């Protein structure tokens, strides 16, 4: 865990948030899938691996009042808090490794853009799913984005696991039902193409 934390802290120490490969100025598909859930504005939402992502800014600006952000990197969270300014006080922040997270309450929406695909060890994936089951309420929504089969094999100097719907369903188990899937061609700040698939599940 400490090696993982050091890796991500160093990424955000050495690079501005606008220059990391996964940066999006507007998280269009994440917002689309969140809107598709039709959750109330006070529903508990957690952005897993949210780091310095601007998704939290958009959610706050749209009136979502019960938003949490979890990231393993203290530096990434500090970047987001600084950017949000006074609004940061209305967000729940978790400086945690998701595989060891002990959720203090349940959420109705779990959003993960490209965290799960970094878990190359089966034990870490099992831990992630166990935490997910603790944290996500029945009938809650799970949104996961990951590199597609045949897409990139690495990101940020780390190996990843590619996913399609069948492979991801096998990892999550029967407690989750796939509702929709959307593909995205993400263009990095250095103009490289990364192919993602976004999946929305409902917890049965």
Render pLDDT for 168-184 as a digit per residue (tens, 0 to 9): 999 999 999 999 999 99
pLDDT of residue 82 exceeding 50, the answer is yes
CATH number of 2-203: 3.40.50.150
Mean pLDDT of the chain: 91
Average pLDDT (90-99) is 97
d(CA 144, CA 122): 18
d(CA 152, CA 118): 12
pLDDT at 100: 97
d(CA 98, CA 115): 9
d(CA 11, CA 75): 9
pLDDT at 18: 55
Domain ranges of the chain: 2-203
d(CA 202, CA 144): 11
Q: Say which residues have a Cβ less than 8 Å from residue 181's Cβ, sequence separation at least 6.
A: 165, 197, 198, 199, 200
Model's pTM, two decimal places? 0.91
The Cα-based distances of 14 to 30, 78, 132 in angstroms read: 27, 14, 31
More confident residue, 24 or 56: 56
Token pair, residue 199, equals 């999946």
pLDDT at 1: 47
Write down how long the chain is. Answer: 204
d(CA 114, CA 174): 22
Identify which of 165, 169, 170 has the alpha carbon closest to the alpha carbon of residue 182: 165
In this predicted model, what pLDDT tens digit does every residue of 138-165 receive, in sequence order? 999 999 999 999 888 878 778 899 999 9
d(CA 169, CA 204): 13
In this predicted model, what pLDDT tens digit does every residue of 18-39 receive, in sequence order? 556 556 778 999 999 999 999 9
In this predicted model, what pLDDT tens digit does every residue of 106-146 receive, in sequence order? 999 999 999 999 999 999 999 999 999 999 999 999 999 99
């Amino acid at each position: 865990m400490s090696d993982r934390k050091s890796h991500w802290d160093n990424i955000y120490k050495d690079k501005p948030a606008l220059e990391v490969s996964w940066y999006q100025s507007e998280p269009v598909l994440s917002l689309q899938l969140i809107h598709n859930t039709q959750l109330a504005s006070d529903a508990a939402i957690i952005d897993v691996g949210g780091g310095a992502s601007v998704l939290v800014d958009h959610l706050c600006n749209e009136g979502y009042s019960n938003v949490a952000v979890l990231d393993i990197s203290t530096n990434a969270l500090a970047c987001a808090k600084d950017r949000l300014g006074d609004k940061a006080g209305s967000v729940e922040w978790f400086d945690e490794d998701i595989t060891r997270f002990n959720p203090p309450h349940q959420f109705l929406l779990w959003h993960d853009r490209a965290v799960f695909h970094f878990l190359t060890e089966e034990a870490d994936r099992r831990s992630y799913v166990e935490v997910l089951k603790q944290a996500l309420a029945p009938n809650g929504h799970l949104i996961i984005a990951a590199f597609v089969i045949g897409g990139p094999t690495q990101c940020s100097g780390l190996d990843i696991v590619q996913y399609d719907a069948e492979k991801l369903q096998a990892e999550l188990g029967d407690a989750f039902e796939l509702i929709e899937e959307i593909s995205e061609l993400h263009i990095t700040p250095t103009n490289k193409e990364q192919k993602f698939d976004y999946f929305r599940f409902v917890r049965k």
